[in-house]
Amino acid sequence: MMQYRYGGFWRRWGAMLIDSLILYMILLIFVLAGAAAFRLNLSMSEFKFLVGEFGEMSGAYLVIYYGANLLISMAYYTYFHGTSGQTIGKMIFGLRVVQATGENMTFGIAFLRWVGYLISGLCFYLGFLWAAFDGKKQGWHDKIAATVVIRTRMEPVLQMADLPPEKNEKYLDKENDVL
């Protein structure tokens, strides 16, 4: 296996935050389109009320909402990981998912990794937090699909020439990455 620089927890968290925002916006478009299809003609204040009172909506609507949420999430992560190994968030943070053997991702592995996302999120997102403590920075979903998240670009090292070496150490983690 090739030697990689693994994507750290905070980079991965930032990438997931961006991906979550993108998925939220896509889902919001579908919700608004669904409201238009049902001719609800919602004003902005009524829409805010609708979102605020989400828990009181009908069960059928909730099933459709969460089903659409799962379907869009599955399509997004499977497509981006299966084609390039990078979602939009990972592209921004300079990360890419590869198989642990070093090979590029396939759609099957990408789908399995997405299923692992569901498992990682079941117990208070502990499967995602696991990446902060794992040696290869793997979450449960990475272990399930036998993947690793690697860094695709190297940032310049923090210039601290004026500081003595013992003071530099407090700004670096164990892989000598800037904190």
Each residue's pLDDT tens digit, 56-114: 556 667 788 889 999 999 999 999 999 999 999 999 999 999 999 999 999 999 999 99
Residue 139 in domain: yes
Residue 3 in domain: no
Between 174 and 178, where is the model more confident? 174
Residue 176 in domain: no
Task: Give bridge partners of residue 147 from the DSSP assignment.
Answer: 99
Residue 66 in domain: yes
Give the structural domain span for 102: 9-171
Residue 95 in domain: yes
Structurally, how many domains does the chain consist of?
A: 1
Question: What radius of gyration do the chain's Cα atoms show?
Answer: 20
Instruction: Convert the pLDDT of each residue in 149-164 to its tens digit.
Output: 999 976 555 454 455 5
Return the minimum-mean-pLDDT range out of 3-12, 51-60, 151-160: 51-60
What does the buried/exposed string (b/e) look like for 55-70 if buried means 16 or more CB atoms within 10 Å of the residue's CB?
eeeeeeeeeebeeebe
pTM > 0.85: yes or no: no
Q: Are 164 and 108 in contact (CB under 8 A)?
A: no
